[in-house]
Amino acid sequence: MINAVGSPQSLLLLGGTSEIGLAIAENYASQAGSGSLAVTLAARPSERLDAAAERLRAAGATVRTLAFDARDLDSHPKVVAEAFADGDVDVTVLAFGLLGDAEQAWQEHAAGVELAQVNFTAPVSLGIALAERLRAQGHGSVIALSSVAGERVRRSNFVYGATKAGFDGFFLGLGEALRPEGINVTVVRPGFVRTKMTEGMKAAPMATTPEKVAEIAVAAVRHRRELVWAPGQWRLVMSVLRHIPRPIFRKLPI
């Protein structure tokens, strides 16, 4: 449950090695105080997962790890059940996904299907399983990490953008469905974030950091917002891009 000063006491991170997800968990841990935030990191067992757990313990959280593979759809209800087995979960963060090779994704069947399964089908699978648990406990918040790429799909990465557009549609709709029961879903749309996933890529305008995205996400949950951009200027940029006629849009260097 949320404590007396409004900080969550438990957090589930689906994508337990995500740099943005870990930054969100650290932000909450700093608010809760030493030992007050219980974090479940769900990811495939690895040295990265072990390092993520130690990072959060150093930040003052109590941490357990849970084996989770986004591709194994049949296992998702069991993973969610195990995450809730010790009691209520105040905040759930969905922070896994693939960027993929933009050209390979539409020219190689396996690559495109994998991108769609990990970025869209798996989040839907988990969202449905989460909704059941959240409704049973009667409270909770979900942070669904998306991307500005889903707001208007571009030729340069249209398979990835399409998966994020679907992701957004599902979680915004899930938020509407759960709102009457006191459960909040916040979709976060970052632009270019400097992480290991984007290492070696040319930084886009308004590039940001996991810590900055975390600050925006945590503030959005506190104010029960449905949708935020990171940084906030992306809202204005995408508002303009959404209304550009397609013949002109396809000529833009984006």
Residue 147's Cβ-side half-sphere holds a number of Cα atoms within 13 Å equal to 25
Q: Of 68, 160, 170, 234, which residue is the catalytic one?
A: 160
**Of 21, 65, 34, 38, the residue nearest 217 (C-alpha):** 21
Contacts for 168-172: CB closer than 8 Å, 24+ residues apart: 170/120, 170/123, 170/124, 170/127, 171/94, 171/123, 171/127, 171/142, 171/144, 171/146, 172/226, 172/227
> Of all helices (H) and strands (E), which one includes residue 227?
strand 227-230
Q: Is 160 a catalytic residue?
A: yes
The residue assigned the tokens 């105080």 is 33
Which residues on adjacent β-strands are paired with residue 193? 208
Which residue's structure tokens are 């990835």?
Answer: 160
Catalytic residues: 160
